[in-house]
Amino acid sequence: MPQTFRTACVQNCAGPDMAANIAEVERLAIQAATDGADLICLPEFFSCLDVGPERFEVGATDEENHPALPVFTRLARDYHAWILLGSLAVKTASGKIRNRSILIDSGGEIVSRYDKIHLFDVDLAGGENYRESLTVEAGEKAVLAPTPWGLMGLTVCYDLRFAHLYRTMAQAGAMFFTVPAAFTMTTGKAHWHPLLRARAIETGSFVFAPCQWGRHGKAETYGHSLIIDPWGVVLADGGEADGIILVEIDPDRVATARAMIPALLHDRPYAGPEPATIERTG
Q: Which domains does the chain have, with CATH numbers?
A: 5-265 (3.60.110.10)
Q: What's residue 281's pLDDT? A: 59
Bridge partners (DSSP) listed for residue 56: 51
Q: Collect contacts of 62-66 with beta carbons under 8 A, ≥24 apart.
A: 62/90, 62/91, 63/88, 63/90, 63/100, 66/90
CA distance 148 to 150: 6
CA-based radius of gyration for the chain: 18
pLDDT digits (tens, 9 = 90+) for 3-39: 899 999 999 999 999 999 999 999 999 999 999 999 9
Find, among 233, 209, 242, the residue nearest to 11 by Cα. 242
Number of residues that make up the chain: 282
Give which of 102, 47, 109 is closest to 77, Cα–Cα.
Answer: 109
Which residues are 114's β-sheet partners? 101
pTM of the model: 0.96
Q: What is the mean pLDDT of residues 257-274?
A: 95
**pLDDT at residue 280, rounded to an integer:** 65
The answer, yes or no, to whether residue 282 has pLDDT greater than 70, is no
DSSP-derived 3-state class of residue 157? helix
Position 161 pLDDT exceeds 60: yes
Q: Return the higher-pLDDT residue of 53 and 126.
A: 126
Name the percent of the chain in helix, strand, coil, to the closest 5.
30, 35, 40
Q: What is the DSSP letter of 128?
A: -
What pLDDT, on the 0 to 100 scale, is given for residue 120? 94
- Between 28 and 51, the more confident residue is 28
Per-residue pLDDT tens digits for 80-128: 999 999 999 999 999 999 999 999 999 999 999 999 999 999 999 998 8
What is the reported pLDDT for 224? 98
Q: What is the mean pLDDT of the chain?
A: 96
Residues with active-site annotation: 44, 116, 157
Band of pLDDT at residue 186, cut at 50, 70 and 90:
very high
Q: For residue 2, name the pLDDT band (cuts at 50, 70, 90).
A: low
| Cβ pair 21, 65 in contact under 8 A | no
pLDDT surpassing 90 at residue 188:
yes
Of 141 and 276, more confident: 141
Name the pLDDT band for 184 (thresholds 50, 70, 90). Answer: very high
The pLDDT-based confidence of 275 (bands split at 50, 70, 90) is: confident
pLDDT on residue 278: 66
In percent, the amount of the chain with pLDDT more than 70 equals 98
